[in-house]
Amino acid sequence: GSVRNIENGPCLTVQQKIEIWAGPLADQSQAVLLLNRNSTNSEVITVKWTDLGWPTNQWALVRDLWAQRDIGTFYGSYTSPNIESHAVQMLKITLNH
């Protein structure tokens, strides 16, 4: 249910037809949607922890919600693999405490 908050939240990034949407989940993690609106090219998309209101110098676990698997632990930011034209990557990012 919490993910629907993304629709009401601010769009964090719009550049070169790339959008990053984020919204807080109940467990203090954030749902993050990486959207490639480019009609021709695949793109890599980077989300910085500061975009999510978190300190840069933190490790966080990144989980792919649709693949239902953890991608890994990242420091300061996460950069996606190539996201195809008009495709998305749906993530759950949780700070390591």
What pLDDT, on a 0 to 100 scale, did the predictor assign at position 87? 95
Closest CA to 49 of 69, 78, 6: 78
pTM of the shown model: 0.82
| Structural domains for the chain | 18-95 (2.60.40.1180)
Mean pLDDT of 13-38: 89
40-76 residue pLDDT tens: 899 999 999 999 999 999 999 999 999 999 999 999 9
Find where tokens 């890994």 sit.
72
| Sign of the CA dihedral running 66, 72, 78, 84 | negative
What pLDDT, on a 0 to 100 scale, did the predictor assign at position 97? 78
What pLDDT, on a 0 to 100 scale, did the predictor assign at position 11? 65
CA angle 12–3–89, rounded 5-degree value: 60
What pLDDT, on a 0 to 100 scale, did the predictor assign at position 54? 95
pLDDT at 1 over 90: no
